[in-house]
């Protein structure tokens, strides 16, 4: 018996060393529910990544002369678009943007690897602040964070239950994830301002499955309906029809799943997460059409509550107004904080946790000398004068449950590419 045991130990060590060297067969499953049946949290081993991942994504692909993986390619809906796939003109337009597509796909691969890694440790009992820190540090590592040119797209949302979006722990928040929680993980990656925005819902209790399925199906319908020349209102109507065909039983009471009618998807521009167009998730919206070369975050939110959110709770997310006017600032502290924000985040979103890191949000920019002290008054002042916009948590009624799924899509001249698609969702 002793001999056998020793052999086993040796074998285990070997597999560990092999894994650390990179490569191997993906085998680990996530703790959360309803991720794709072919999804493994160590899927990136097929690219000779290590487990846990430590090699920057650019070295796995560019370093070996490989192209970044494409997202899922589908044709544009509407008969008027049928010509696009084989049009020489549209193909030429496509080729002209190859460098942009490459950046977007690199950011998307980082997103997939980071979220798969996160799925391996997100389970009941983890402190949300620790979870965000682990996820964000891995994001910085795999994207090779370099100030504004590449890094995190926006703070990691980990909104629980009746909170639908824009919650991340502030310093001192010790919230712990529970078995009965429904958590929306929403994070981003950016390279040269090209932002990947994608989100999924984590739950452990099977009673929420119909809620998650409703939202997942609704998001897939939104993605399927979207395309060049499609009216935004038509996407919203298709989403609502699917979402509201579901109901969910919780503790013997049946709730209809409702769309959260004042939340929507959005177009994405360089360094601009919300670039001006909104994709509704209910009928009766804007008749504006989607256009060639736009990028969209298609996201849907379902709830067991009233289907309408309000701003509530302590604010953690902030972002510089993309069209911020030049305002003469009186307070030296405000000037100093604004200079820090301009240099570190530009017009990308940030959170209070990042301002209190030793690097103030970017090691590449500040080394270990970036930490902001006593900044709350200055931050409030910048918000009051309209340079910075606060984004407080968005909440439905207390006691209800909300879910979210989101993907980033590119409306290419020849096709629609769902860049953030993975085996998981």
List residues with catalytic annotation. 186, 197, 266, 274, 299, 406
Helices 209-225, 232-243: crossing angle, 10 deg rounding:
160
State the Cα–Cα distance between residues 10 and 389, nearest whole angstrom.
Answer: 56
The phi and psi torsions of 181 (rounded to 5 degrees) equal: -80, 155
86's tokens: 């084989």
State the Cα–Cα distance between residues 53 and 385, nearest whole angstrom.
Answer: 43
The DSSP string of 214-244 is: HHHHHHHHHHHH--TT-BHHHHHHHHHHHHT
Residue 74 is given by DSSP the state E
State the Cα–Cα distance between residues 261 and 308, nearest whole angstrom.
Answer: 6
The phi and psi torsions of 296 (rounded to 5 degrees) equal: -130, 145
From the number of C-beta atoms within 10 Å of its C-beta (0-12, 13-18, 19+), residue 251 rates as exposed
Work out the number of other CB atoms within 10 angstroms of the CB of residue 27: 12
**Is residue 31 helix, strand or coil?**
coil
């Amino acid at each position: 018996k002793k001999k056998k045991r020793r052999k086993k130990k040796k074998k285990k060590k070997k597999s560990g060393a092999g894994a650390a060297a990179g490569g191997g067969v993906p085998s680990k499953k996530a703790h959360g529910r309803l991720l794709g049946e072919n999804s493994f949290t160590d899927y990136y081993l097929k690219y000779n990544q290590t487990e846990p991942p430590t090699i920057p994504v650019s070295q796995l692909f560019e370093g070996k002369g490989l192209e970044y993986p494409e997202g899922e390619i589908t044709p544009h809906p509407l008969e008027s678009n049928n010509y696009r796939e084989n049009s020489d003109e549209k193909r030429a337009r496509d080729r002209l943007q190859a460098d942009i597509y490459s950046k977007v796909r690199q950011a998307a691969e980082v997103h997939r690897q980071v979220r798969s890694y996160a799925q391996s440790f997100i389970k009941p009992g983890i402190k949300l602040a620790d979870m965000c820190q682990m996820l964000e540090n891995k994001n910085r590592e795999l994207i090779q964070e370099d100030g504004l040119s590449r890094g995190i797209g926006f703070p990691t949302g980990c909104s629980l239950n009746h909170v639908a979006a824009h919650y991340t722990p502030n310093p001192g928040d010790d919230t712990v994830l529970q078995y009965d929680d429904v958590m929306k993980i929403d994070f981003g990656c950016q390279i040269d301002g090209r932002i990947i925005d994608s989100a999924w819902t984590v739950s452990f209790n099977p009673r929420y499955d119909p809620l998650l399925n409703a939202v997942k199906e609704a998001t897939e319908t939104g993605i399927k309906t979207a395309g060049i020349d499609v009216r935004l209102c038509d996407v919203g109507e298709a989403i609502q029809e699917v979402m509201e065909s579901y109901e969910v039983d919780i503790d013997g009471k049946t709730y209809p799943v409702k769309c959260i009618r004042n939340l929507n998807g959005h177009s994405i521009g360089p360094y601009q997460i919300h670039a001006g167009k909104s994709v509704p998730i209910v009928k009766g919206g804007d008749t504006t059409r989607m256009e060639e070369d736009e990028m969209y975050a298609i996201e849907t939110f379902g709830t067991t509550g009233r289907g309408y959110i309000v701003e509530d709770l302590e604010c953690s997310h902030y972002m510089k107004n993309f069209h911020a006017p030049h305002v003469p600032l009186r307070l030296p502290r405000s000037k100093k904080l604004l200079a820090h924000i301009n240099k570190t985040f530009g017009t990308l979103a940030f959170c209070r946790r990042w301002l209190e890191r030793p690097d103030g949000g970017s090691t590449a920019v500040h080394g270990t000398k970036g930490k902001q002290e006593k900044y709350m008054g200055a931050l409030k002042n910048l918000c009051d004068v309209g340079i910075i916009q606060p984004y407080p948590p968005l909440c439905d009624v207390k006691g209800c449950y909300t879910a979210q799924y989101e993907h980033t899509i590119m409306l290419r001249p020849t096709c629609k590419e769902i860049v953030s698609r993975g085996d998981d969702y």
